[in-house]
């Protein structure tokens, strides 16, 4: 070793090494993760999801939609997005704080946040700071009824979900030649659950359904024991369950149904939980049977096949679902608007989003287009049923890949 | 609503309440003897739950089989905590003790977050979906096993305090601290032993609780609060009161949820607490200060 090289290596003291490593760590921790590396400045997109807390399972599932977006956006020759991850911790107040923090750290557009309560808080921050928010999943109608200029929702509102759900239920029961006479409506007692409960009274009478609601049972979304709720539902003598739930509670309710030896003729879910992969994997044979009436993907669209292939490659064995579809589409909207705006200026971005007209997409319906309120009012839902760990589309007829199994096979006859 | 629905829900509440009671028993034992309120009680239960989850994931060991080993680990933790951290605070003002135990609780929650992450974890035993049918009564097998185990552990603790020399010495310390010193009892060691026993109770409760609910690191504070509600309802420092309080809170939550709104069932537990504080401030089986 020469004197020069010795001097040079001597300069690298433990202190300077530690300082360098610390600086590198800080840099690595704060540098946004690029999902694409094409030319030009990437749009900084803050993706807020419940990655921990009671909704962690769903938040992490939405994240899969983020992970598979890069390749498809690149194929579409859309600009790069630099993803800045934010965890709402399944908490409204934390959501607000995280949104503010992401904006202060340079986020030029926000995406999120699965939950209506959390999204409402983020929408207020986005509007106040003048940063566009593209909602991936959140159904409470008031979010797009406030006259906000920077908030856009590519997800159906609660009345839209209910309207399609009841239409699909009618179609399924007409085809089966039998139907439940009464149901118990169980819902999470949060912003989404309450919006759905309020919507049912207005929407249900329009569909002349065969069943009446024998009892409405609200429960805590963070509940760890739902035995009382299920006992109360069973005691009504209703045929079926009409559900608005999340993931953990859907699993708790299924466990209680088995333990309390009650198999309803149908579980009709109008929200998340019952079709999630974690539900299917955890409960195995006991997961079969529930039908979910949810915003879904059109299997005939080219981009649906592309998204399915990307998910299968990145996460083998995971079924494509609402979480992936709508989180992906939120990023698609962001990249498309950024390309057309030609600038990361928030106002230019918001104007570009407002003028969105994407027909090459994934969700059911003619495409992505926003009305004056920032709502995509053209989305349609589907009915899907859990069968052997997979999801099959059972309504509407135009998109169905299988006939609905009704009534459900009793839990004690599943081997 | 048919009568058997009330019966089913009441039995479910009773069995859950027995596990609650065992958890609160640990808090009551510690306070009754050491006169320190363990604000890390729920967090210690979550540690026990995570030990059960880890052992089940790695070796498929049933938490009920692990009940004694987990209680032993928590006993050691409690013993060391008392000797190393809490003992110097025994004669300090209560706010110092409070801050110390809250700090320990926060360290435990964050330690669990670092080790296990924020997601809910559970144990799926082969009997997780079983139930027993006794006429119109359907009893959840998991709750029945957990409730029975809680009764056995509580009975063992009662027997320890009643029939063993160490148990009698601990009771002597609780009754007359100065007298215990005068007759030459090693009070510091007995305090550590008591804290260890209280921790073992909560460890056993955690091993059973993991059969009933999923565990997440932030679960602790809610169960610390629940343990307080139970011991205040039953009588702070009373072992029988803690068990009774647990059963009452468990049944109140269950029946309150059935008769009114399930989403507000915790409200009924706190309603019971308010009633007890109004009409019997020392708790149902607590001793009056006079």
**B175 or B44, which is more confident?**
B44
All residues at 6 or more sequence positions from B225 whose CB lies less than 8 Å from its CB, including other chains: B42
User: Does residue A359 sit within a domain?
Assistant: yes
CB-CB neighbors (< 8 A) of A53 in chain B = 118, 216, 218
Looking at the structure, do residues A396 and A249 belong to the same domain, yes or no? yes
Instruction: Check CB contact under 8 Å for B263 and A219.
Output: yes
What was the pLDDT predicted at B290? 59
Instruction: Check CB contact under 8 Å for B138 and A259.
Output: yes
Instruction: Check CB contact under 8 Å for B8 and A231.
Output: yes
Looking at the structure, do residues A74 and A93 belong to the same domain, yes or no? yes
Q: Which residue of A lies nearest to B2 if distances are taken between CA atoms?
A: A235
Q: Is residue A171 pLDDT above 60, yes or no?
A: yes
CB-CB neighbors (< 8 A) of B129 in chain A = 255, 258-259, 286
What was the pLDDT predicted at A328? 97
The Cα of A251 is separated from the nearest Cα of chain B by a number of Å equal to 11
Looking at the structure, do residues A63 and A153 belong to the same domain, yes or no? yes
B94 interfacial to chain A (CB closer than 8 Å): no
Instruction: Check CB contact under 8 Å for A228 and B254.
Output: yes
Q: Is residue A24 pLDDT above 60, yes or no?
A: no
Q: Which of A58, A89, A225, A281 to mutate to test the interface with B (most CBs of B within 10 A)?
A: A225
Instruction: Check CB contact under 8 Å for A228 and B9.
Output: yes
The Cα of B129 is separated from the nearest Cα of chain A by a number of Å equal to 5
Parent domain of B226: 3-279
User: Does residue B252 sit within a domain?
Assistant: yes
Q: Which of residues 21-80 of B touch A (CB under 8 A)?
A: none
Q: Number of CB pairs < 8 Å for A and B?
A: 78
**Residue range B172-182: mean pLDDT, rounded:** 90
CB-CB neighbors (< 8 A) of A224 in chain B = 212-214
User: Does residue A15 sit within a domain?
Assistant: no
pLDDT category at B289 given cuts 50, 70, 90 is low
Looking at the structure, do residues A151 and A256 belong to the same domain, yes or no? no
**Residue range A87-104: mean pLDDT, rounded:** 95
Q: Which of A185, A190, A227 to mutate to test the interface with B (most CBs of B within 10 A)?
A: A227
Q: Which residue has the tokens 């510091």?
A: B188
B12 interfacial to chain A (CB closer than 8 Å): yes
Domain count, chain B: 1
Q: Which of B129, B216, B261 sits opposite A259 (nearest CB)?
A: B129
Looking at the structure, do residues A189 and A223 belong to the same domain, yes or no? yes
Q: Which residue of B lies nearest to A219 if distances are taken between CA atoms?
A: B263
User: Does residue A371 sit within a domain?
Assistant: yes
- pLDDT digits over B219-250, tens only? 899 999 999 999 999 998 788 999 999 999 99
Instruction: Check CB contact under 8 Å for B262 and A224.
Output: no
Q: Is residue A5 pLDDT above 50, yes or no?
A: no
CB-CB neighbors (< 8 A) of B119 in chain A = 52, 56-57
Parent domain of A184: 159-296+382-413
Q: Is residue A12 pLDDT above 60, yes or no?
A: no
The Cα of A189 is separated from the nearest Cα of chain B by a number of Å equal to 7
Cα angle, residue A154 at apex, residues A149 and A158 outer, rounded to 5°: 100
Q: Is residue A43 pLDDT above 80, yes or no?
A: yes
CB-CB neighbors (< 8 A) of B140 in chain A = 227, 259
Q: Which residue has the tokens 């059109």?
A: A298
Q: Which of B130, B263, B266, B268 to mutate to test the interface with A (most CBs of A within 10 A)?
A: B263
Looking at the structure, do residues A244 and A387 belong to the same domain, yes or no? yes
User: Does residue A340 sit within a domain?
Assistant: yes
Looking at the structure, do residues A113 and A173 belong to the same domain, yes or no? no
Q: Is residue A152 pLDDT above 80, yes or no?
A: yes
B114 interfacial to chain A (CB closer than 8 Å): no
The Cα of B130 is separated from the nearest Cα of chain A by a number of Å equal to 6
Q: What is the CATH number of the domain that holds A342?
A: 3.40.50.2300
What was the pLDDT predicted at A224? 84
CB-CB neighbors (< 8 A) of B251 in chain A = none
Comparing CA positions, the residue from A76, A59, A38 lying closest to residue A306 is A76
Q: The dihedral of CA A76, A79, A84, A87: what is its sign?
A: negative
User: Does residue B105 sit within a domain?
Assistant: yes
**B290 or B269, which is more confident?**
B269
**Residue range B201-208: mean pLDDT, rounded:** 96
The ipTM (two decimal places) reads 0.84
DSSP label at residue A294: E
Instruction: Check CB contact under 8 Å for A225 and B133.
Output: no
- pLDDT digits over A298-348, tens only? 888 899 999 999 999 999 988 899 999 999 999 999 999 999 999 999 999
Measured CA to CA, the distance from residue B18 to residue B147 in angstroms comes to 5
pLDDT category at A362 given cuts 50, 70, 90 is very high
Domain count, chain A: 2
- Counting DSSP H helices and E strands in chain B, the numbers are 11, 2
Looking at the structure, do residues A195 and A321 belong to the same domain, yes or no? no
pTM above 0.90, yes or no: no
User: Does residue B174 sit within a domain?
Assistant: yes
What was the pLDDT predicted at A400? 85
**B265 or A197, which is more confident?**
A197
Instruction: Check CB contact under 8 Å for A225 and B119.
Output: no
Measured CA to CA, the distance from residue B49 to residue B46 in angstroms comes to 5
Q: Which of B129, B140, B263 sits opposite A227 (nearest CB)?
A: B140
Measured CA to CA, the distance from residue A64 to residue A324 in angstroms comes to 6
Measured CA to CA, the distance from residue A361 to residue B198 in angstroms comes to 60
Q: How large a percentage of chain A has pLDDT more than 90?
A: 73
Measured CA to CA, the distance from residue A264 to residue B117 in angstroms comes to 36
User: Does residue B287 sit within a domain?
Assistant: no
Q: What is the CATH number of the domain that holds B251?
A: 1.10.3470
Instruction: Check CB contact under 8 Å for B9 and A248.
Output: no
User: Does residue A364 sit within a domain?
Assistant: yes
CB–CB of B53/B171 below 8 Å? no
All residues at 6 or more sequence positions from B143 whose CB lies less than 8 Å from its CB, including other chains: B12, B15, B16, B212
User: Does residue A87 sit within a domain?
Assistant: yes
Q: How large a percentage of chain B has pLDDT more than 70?
A: 99
DSSP label at residue B86: I
Instruction: Check CB contact under 8 Å for B12 and A54.
Output: no
B128 interfacial to chain A (CB closer than 8 Å): yes
Q: Which residue of B lies nearest to A237 if distances are taken between CA atoms?
A: B1
Instruction: Check CB contact under 8 Å for B140 and A248.
Output: no
H-helix or E-strand spanning residue A123: helix A116-129
pLDDT category at A401 given cuts 50, 70, 90 is confident
Average of per-residue pLDDT values in chain B? 92
Residue B60 backbone class (left: φ over 0; alpha: ψ -120 to 50; beta: rest): left
The Cα of B131 is separated from the nearest Cα of chain A by a number of Å equal to 5
B118 interfacial to chain A (CB closer than 8 Å): yes
User: Does residue B286 sit within a domain?
Assistant: no
Looking at the structure, do residues A353 and A398 belong to the same domain, yes or no? no
The Cα of B228 is separated from the nearest Cα of chain A by a number of Å equal to 19
Looking at the structure, do residues A393 and A374 belong to the same domain, yes or no? no
**Residue range A24-38: mean pLDDT, rounded:** 45
User: Does residue A341 sit within a domain?
Assistant: yes
Measured CA to CA, the distance from residue A177 to residue B104 in angstroms comes to 62
Cα angle, residue A338 at apex, residues A333 and A343 outer, rounded to 5°: 160
What was the pLDDT predicted at B270? 92
Q: Is residue A33 pLDDT above 70, yes or no?
A: no
Looking at the structure, do residues A172 and A225 belong to the same domain, yes or no? yes
Comparing CA positions, the residue from B15, B95, B96, B86 lying closest to residue B44 is B86
CB-CB neighbors (< 8 A) of B141 in chain A = 259
The Cα of B260 is separated from the nearest Cα of chain A by a number of Å equal to 10
H-helix or E-strand spanning residue B202: helix B187-212
- pLDDT digits over A154-169, tens only? 999 999 999 999 999 9
Mean pLDDT lowest for which of A175-189, A273-287, B55-69? Answer: A273-287
Mean pLDDT lowest for which of B198-202, B203-207, B235-239? Answer: B235-239
Q: Which residue of B lies nearest to A254 if distances are taken between CA atoms?
A: B129
Q: Which residue has the tokens 């039953």?
A: B234
Measured CA to CA, the distance from residue B13 to residue B6 in angstroms comes to 10
For B38-166, strand residue ranges (E) read: 131-134, 137-140
What was the pLDDT predicted at A20? 47
Measured CA to CA, the distance from residue A111 to residue A97 in angstroms comes to 15
The Cα of A258 is separated from the nearest Cα of chain B by a number of Å equal to 6
Letter string b/e over residues B182-218, b meaning 16 or more CB atoms within 10 A of that residue's CB: eeebebeebbbbbbbbbbbbbbbbbbbbbbbbbbbbb
Strand order in A81-87's β-sheet?
A: A33-34, A81-87, A43-49, A109-112, A133-135, A151-153
Looking at the structure, do residues A207 and A253 belong to the same domain, yes or no? yes
Average of per-residue pLDDT values in chain A? 88
């Amino acid at each position: 070793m020469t004197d020069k090289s010795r001097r040079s290596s001597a300069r690298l003291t433990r202190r300077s090494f530690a300082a360098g490593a610390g600086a590198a760590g800080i840099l690595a921790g704060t540098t946004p993760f690029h999902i694409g590396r094409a030319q030009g400045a990437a749009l900084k997109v803050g993706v807020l999801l419940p990655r921990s807390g009671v909704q962690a399972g769903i938040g992490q599932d939405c994240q899969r939609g983020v992970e598979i977006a890069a390749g498809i956006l690149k194929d579409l020759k859309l600009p790069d997005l630099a993803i800045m991850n934010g965890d709402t911790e399944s908490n409204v107040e934390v959501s607000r704080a995280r949104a503010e923090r992401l904006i202060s750290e340079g986020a030029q557009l926000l995406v999120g946040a699965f939950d209506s309560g959390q999204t409402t808080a983020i929408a207020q921050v986005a509007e106040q700071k003048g940063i566009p928010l593209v909602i991936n999943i959140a159904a409470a109608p008031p979010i797009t009824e406030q006259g906000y200029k920077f908030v856009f929702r590519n997800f159906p509102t609660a009345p839209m979900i209910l309207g399609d759900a009841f239409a699909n239920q009618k179609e399924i029961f007409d085809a089966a030649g039998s139907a439940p006479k009464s149901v118990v409506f169980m819902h999470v007692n949060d912003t989404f659950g309450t919006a759905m409960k309020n919507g049912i009274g207005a929407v249900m009478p329009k569909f002349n359904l065969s069943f009446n609601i024998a009892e409405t049972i609200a429960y805590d979304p963070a509940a760890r024991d739902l035995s009382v709720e299920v006992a109360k539902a069973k005691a009504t003598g209703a045929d079926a369950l009409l559900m608005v739930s999340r993931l953990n509670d859907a699993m708790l309710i299924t466990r209680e149904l088995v333990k309390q030896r009650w198999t309803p003729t149908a579980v009709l879910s109008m929200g998340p939980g019952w079709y999630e992969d974690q539900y299917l994997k955890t409960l195995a044979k006991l997961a079969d049977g529930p039908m979910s009436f949810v915003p879904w993907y059109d299997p005939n669209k080219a981009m649906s096949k592309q998204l399915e292939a990307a998910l299968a490659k990145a996460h083998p064995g995971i079924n494509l679902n609402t979480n992936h579809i709508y989180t992906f589409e939120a990023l698609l909207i962001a990249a498309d608007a950024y390309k057309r705006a030609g600038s990361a200026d928030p106002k230019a971005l918001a104007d570009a989003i407002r003028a969105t007209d994407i027909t090459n997409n994934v969700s059911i319906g003619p495409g992505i287009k926003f009305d004056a309120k920032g709502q995509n009012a053209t989305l349609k839902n589907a009915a899907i049923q859990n069968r052997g760990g997979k999801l099959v589309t059972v309504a509407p007829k135009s998109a169905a890949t299988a006939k609905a199994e009704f009534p459900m096979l009793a839990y004690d006859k599943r081997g | 609503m048919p009568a058997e629905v009330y019966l089913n829900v009441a039995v479910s509440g009773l069995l859950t309440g027995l596990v609650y009671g065992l958890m609160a028993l640990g808090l009551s034992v510690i306070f009754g003897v050491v006169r320190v309120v363990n604000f890390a009680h729920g967090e210690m239960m979550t540690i026990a739950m995570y030990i059960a989850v880890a052992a089940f994931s790695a070796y498929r060991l049933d938490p009920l089989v692990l009940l004694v080993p987990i209680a032993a680990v928590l006993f050691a933790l409690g013993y060391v905590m008392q000797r190393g951290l809490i003992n110097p605070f025994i004669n300090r003002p209560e706010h110092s003790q409070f801050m110390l135990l809250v700090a320990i609780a926060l360290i435990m929650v964050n330690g669990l977050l670092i080790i296990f992450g924020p997601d809910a974890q559970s144990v799926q035993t082969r009997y997780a979906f079983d139930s027993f049918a006794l006429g119109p009564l359907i009893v959840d097998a998991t709750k029945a096993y957990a409730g029975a185990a809680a009764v056995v552990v509580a009975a063992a603790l009662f027997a320890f305090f009643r029939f063993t020399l160490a148990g009698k010495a601990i009771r002597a310390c609780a009754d007359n601290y100065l007298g215990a010193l005068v007759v030459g009892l090693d009070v510091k060691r007995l305090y550590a032993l008591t804290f260890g026993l209280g921790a073992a109770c909560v460890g056993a409760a955690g091993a059973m609780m993991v059969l009933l609910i999923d565990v997440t690191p932030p679960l602790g504070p809610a169960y610390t609060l629940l343990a307080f509600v139970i011991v205040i309802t039953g009588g702070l420092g009373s072992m029988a009161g803690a068990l009774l309080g647990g059963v009452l809170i468990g049944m109140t939550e269950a029946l309150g949820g059935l008769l009114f709104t399930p989403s507000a069932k915790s409200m009924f537990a706190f309603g019971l607490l308010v009633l007890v504080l109004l009409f019997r401030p020392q708790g149902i089986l607590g001793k009056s200060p006079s």
